[in-house]
Amino acid sequence: MRILLLLAVALLLAACTHAPPRNPMATWVPSPNHGPRQPILIVIHATEQGGVPESLDTLRTANSGGPVSAHYLVGADGHIYQLVSDELRAWHAGPGRWGTITDVNSASIGIELDNDGESPFAAAQIDSLLRLLDDLCKRHGIPRTQIVAHADFAPTRKRDPGFRFPWKQLADAGFGLWPNEPLADPPPGFDPWLALRLLGYPLEQDHSEGHADTVRAFHRRFRGDENDVLDAQDARILYSLTHR
């Protein structure tokens, strides 16, 4: 009898642990019409640290800006670590805006890659990332085009995952945006700045001359360099990306 009583108490405590928080000011009349957080974007980061152990520690504690986390960390050897449930809001994006998304943390899943920001990404790591992207897009219904760099929506603060990240390889596997080739010259009157806005780049955040930080972020992703001046080739790429 005592064992049964202890078991009942344990089950009751377990149920209380997982019960949703309730406001004591209100009468609880539960509705079944609800669901978990629905991510619509995946953000790719580079840790820019000394390895997986250091990054796991940082992602469970803090960095110079305060507490940080991500949903996943992918090691250079391809091992995948999960730190936060997909249904919860991880603290990986910070302030930033992508298109109409003004709270990226609430709308996204964050994936950190163990990389110093300068070195090429390991083949095993990219293979695991592609498998993870496929899983996340299938399970959550995330459009496969909705894969962005941290620097894309925070160009004045961040550079990751950096100019060495293989966006073309992801595009060949069906993830993210990439221009259709052969590239064509845009028609007269084509506005590359408007095209950048249409893609989601937050020009209003970038007060540098010629929006240099935003252009640099665009170049890291689509041209594999860190040049900060728009040119005719950028116009061709932007025209392809915005006229599909």
Say if 136 falls within a structural domain: yes
CATH value at residue 70? 3.40.80.10
User: Which tokens is 105 given?
Assistant: 């943390």
Same structural domain, 136 and 50? yes
Residues in the chain: 244
pLDDT band of 6, cuts 50, 70, 90: very low
**In terms of residue numbers, what domain contains 209?**
192-242
Average pLDDT, the chain: 92
Q: Could you tell me if 166 and 208 lie in one domain? A: no
Q: Are residues 70 and 100 in the same domain?
A: yes
Does a structural domain hold residue 179?
no
According to DSSP H, which parts of the chain are helical? 2-18, 52-59, 104-107, 123-140, 150-153, 167-172, 192-199, 212-222, 232-242
Same domain, 163 and 238: no
Do 150 and 212 fall within a single domain?
no
- Do residues 65 and 143 share a domain? yes
pLDDT tens-digit readout, 135-153: 999 999 999 999 999 999 9
Structure tokens, 175:
């993830």
Clarify whether residues 61 and 142 are in a common domain: yes
pLDDT tens-place string over residues 42-96: 999 999 999 999 999 999 998 888 999 999 999 999 999 999 999 999 999 998 8
Report how many domains make up the chain: 2
Q: For residue 98, what are the contacts with CB-CB under 8 A and spacing of at least 6?
A: 41, 104, 148, 152, 153, 200, 202
Q: Which of the two residues, 22 and 141, has the higher pLDDT score?
A: 141
pLDDT top residue among 5 and 119: 119
- Check residue 30 and give its pLDDT: 86
Verify that 96 and 203 share a domain, yes or no.
no
Last residue in a domain, options 143, 172, 201? 172
